Amino acid sequence: MRNVLTIAGKEIQEGTRNRWVLATTLLLAGLALTLSFLGSAPTGNVGVNKLDVVIVSLSSLTIFLVPLIALLLSHDAIVGEMERGTMLLLLSYPIGRSEVVFGKFLGHLAILAFATLFGYGAAAAAIIAAGNEIGSGSWQAFASMIASSVLLGAVFAAIGYLTSAVASERTTAGGIAIGIWLFFVLIYDMALLGALVAAQGRAIPTGLLDLLLLANPTDVYRLLNLGSRGASALSAMGGIADHAGLSPPVLVAALALWTLTPLGVATLIFSRREL
């Protein structure tokens, strides 16, 4: 465990010196602040909680931006070290390959968590400074959104590690990472929507719908945050959430499984790969 934490600390130190990581953190903060101000504008006097509007806006931002950031951070974690020749040096120490993978993963996850907490925390601070009255339920939903956003980042970071373990070159890993992002964030839901249209109004069995939604971590994230009572009326996800019948514990477990499975497979592949 000590070796894992040492490698994680090394990744965090390198991340703090990386201007790209700083720019990403500031980008998240800037977009979160913008959405917090603009998102509360259309609520008017209809009794909609302003924080619920912000949760919907930030959740939509997370689905597009956090997976991309996670993949860009992790896609060259293994193959990049091998190309630079630093992996041989690292493994010359009494460190196992699994410790290298999990240590680097924890370091990248810590960077993602900091960027998310700083960016979305800035939005929360802006709401408080504006003097808006927010109920405890909305704050709990906001905290859940931040935690699940970090978990979504962990999912795509793990997928990035699997890509890095399989690819033979950094450029190949980068291309695969972009393709994965496009598939899960855009193409999958477009294909699912096309299938629903092709069904011509026929109801999809609940079990099949559950499997289709669980097969995409971004859809799991949508259900977890946009299908809640406060946000469902603003996001049009309430009907899907009710028909799917997936409880929040099941959705969280699905995201955890989406994280552990690619990371475990990446560790197995890397342990058998020749340097």
Cα Rg for the chain, rounded, in angstroms?
Answer: 20
pLDDT value of position 146:
92
- How far CA 255 is from CA of 139, 223, 262, in Å, comes to 22, 12, 11
pLDDT value of position 43:
47
Q: Residue 139: which domain range?
A: 2-271
Per DSSP, the three-state class of 45 is coil
Residue type, 135: G
Taking only the tens of pLDDT, the chain with its 275 residues reads 888 888 889 888 887 777 777 888 888 888 888 877 765 554 444 445 677 778 888 888 899 999 999 999 899 889 988 888 888 888 888 888 899 999 999 999 999 999 899 888 888 887 777 766 677 777 888 889 999 999 999 999 999 999 999 998 889 999 999 999 999 999 998 888 787 777 665 666 767 778 888 999 999 998 888 765 444 444 455 455 556 667 889 999 999 999 999 999 999 999 888 77
The CB density around residue 39, as the number of other CB atoms within 10 Å, is 23
The CB density around residue 53, as the number of other CB atoms within 10 Å, is 22
If one counts the domains in the chain, the total is: 1
pLDDT value of position 121:
85
pLDDT value of position 200:
65
Tokens (6 digits) for 46: 């209809």
Q: How much is the pTM? A: 0.86
Q: Long-range contacts of range 235-240, CB-CB < 8 Å, 24 or more positions apart?
A: 235/56, 235/59, 240/213
pLDDT value of position 45:
43
- How far CA 83 is from CA of 86, 203, 225, in Å, comes to 8, 51, 40
d(C-alpha 19, C-alpha 231), whole Å: 35
Task: Identify the helix (H) or strand (E) that includes residue 219.
Answer: helix 217-226
272 phi and psi, to 5 degrees? -105, 0
pLDDT value of position 274:
79
